[in-house]
Amino acid sequence: AQRVTQPEKLLSVFKGAPVELKCNYSYSGSPELFWYVQYSRQRLQLLLRHISRESIKGFTADLNKGETSFHLKKPFAQEEDSAMYYCALKGNQGGKLIFGQGTELSVKP
C-alpha cells in the first residue's frame, strides 16, 4: 500500500535553530516525493521535489530509500518558515498525490 507518514503534528523551534520535519513512506517501486508548504491563509504550494535535488528557501530533502524517508531539513529556521508542511508521494496510478498528515512548524523569535 502507498502511504506517507509524518509522525509530528507540531514542531516548535526557536529562530536560528536547525529544523527537521520527518517523512516516511511506503511504496512498491521507485517513488517520486515532494514537500508542499501552506502558509497561513494561502494555498498549498510546492516547496521542493526529490528529483530536482534543489534547495528552496534554505530547505533540502534527501531521499533515503534504505530508510524509506524523505526528511525536510533547514540548518537555521526563520520565523517566516512557520507554516504547515506536507510530504507527498506521487502514486503509480494516474499521477495522483498521496499526502502525509502534515506537520505544523512554528518558529519562535
Contact positions vs another protein (CB under 8 A): 9, 42-46, 86, 94-102, 104
Closest distance of CB 34 from another protein, Å = 8
Q: Which three cell numbers stand for residue 81?
A: 518558515
By beta-carbon proximity to another protein, the closer residue of 15 and 24 is 24
Q: What is the DSSP letter of 94?
A: T
For another protein, the closer of residues 1 and 109 by Cβ is 1
Give the separation between CA 96 and CA 93, rounded to whole angstroms: 7
The distance in angstroms from the start CA to the end CA of the chain is: 41
Q: Tell me the closest approach of the beta carbon of residue 46 to another protein, in angstroms.
A: 6
Closest approach of Cβ 77 to another protein, in Å? Answer: 20
Tell me the closest approach of the beta carbon of residue 2 to another protein, in angstroms. 11
| Secondary structure of residue 36 in the 3-state scheme | strand
Q: Which is nearer to another protein, 39 or 76 (CB)?
A: 39
Read off φ and ψ for residue 68, nearest 5 degrees: 45, 55
